[in-house]
Amino acid sequence: MKKLFIAVMFVLFGSQASAWVSKGFVPAEVDIFTVDIDDQANDGCWTNIGEVKRYAEDKLELAGFKVSREKFEGYEDKQHFLFGIVVIANRINEKCYGNIKLEIVKGIYDNKIAGMFVAREAGANFTGYENANRYTLELVGDFIKEVEDPQW
């Protein structure tokens, strides 16, 4: 029943995408990026995880950002940003249904208050795909194009 409910929700809400980034978000204002993957896909719904991570790292470097290829262990300095890629998916009747979330965030700590600053985010649902591989690469590419040429 739970899987049926999830499938119905994805069909009703289809492939929705949204994105934004500030014009002030430029390589000169960012010391370093780390790309972090959160794989919550099941049953082979996302199999090119390493390719997506390398693609995101390469695209950020081509856009002029410095990228750490080490595992994220915490923020190194004040202008250290994290590019998070989250894929949540399940297979139902041989097709995958899920959500892809992309975000650029930075941890902040000020006057004993901790929080997350979101510099950019985007997301999309997908329904009836063989897997999320190609769609994830497409979304990452579009996401970084917006980072390269922000419209806000």
**Could you write out the DSSP letters of every residue in 58-104?**
HHHHHTT--EE-SPP-S--STTEEEEEEEEEEEEETTEEEEEEEEEE
List, in order, residues 6 or more apart from 106 with CB less than 8 Å away.
75, 79, 80, 81, 82, 116, 117, 119
Determine which of 7-11, 63-67, 112-116, 141-145 has the lowest per-residue pLDDT on average: 7-11
- DSSP single-letter state for residue 26: -
- Check residues 86 and 114 and name the one with the higher pLDDT: 86
- DSSP single-letter state for residue 14: -
| pLDDT confidence band for 71 (50 / 70 / 90) | confident
Mean pLDDT, rounded, of the chain: 84
The pLDDT of residue 22: 64
Residue environment code for 23-36, b if the CB has 16+ CB neighbours within 10 A, otherwise e: eebeeeebbebbbb
List, in order, residues 6 or more apart from 83 with CB less than 8 Å away.
33, 34, 35, 36, 56, 60, 102, 103, 104
The pLDDT of residue 45: 97
Quick check: 7 pLDDT over 60?
no
**What value does the mean pLDDT take over residues 68-93?**
86
The pLDDT of residue 148: 83
Place of tokens 């917006």: 146
| pLDDT confidence band for 111 (50 / 70 / 90) | confident
**What value does the mean pLDDT take over residues 35-61?**
97
- Check residues 119 and 129 and name the one with the higher pLDDT: 129
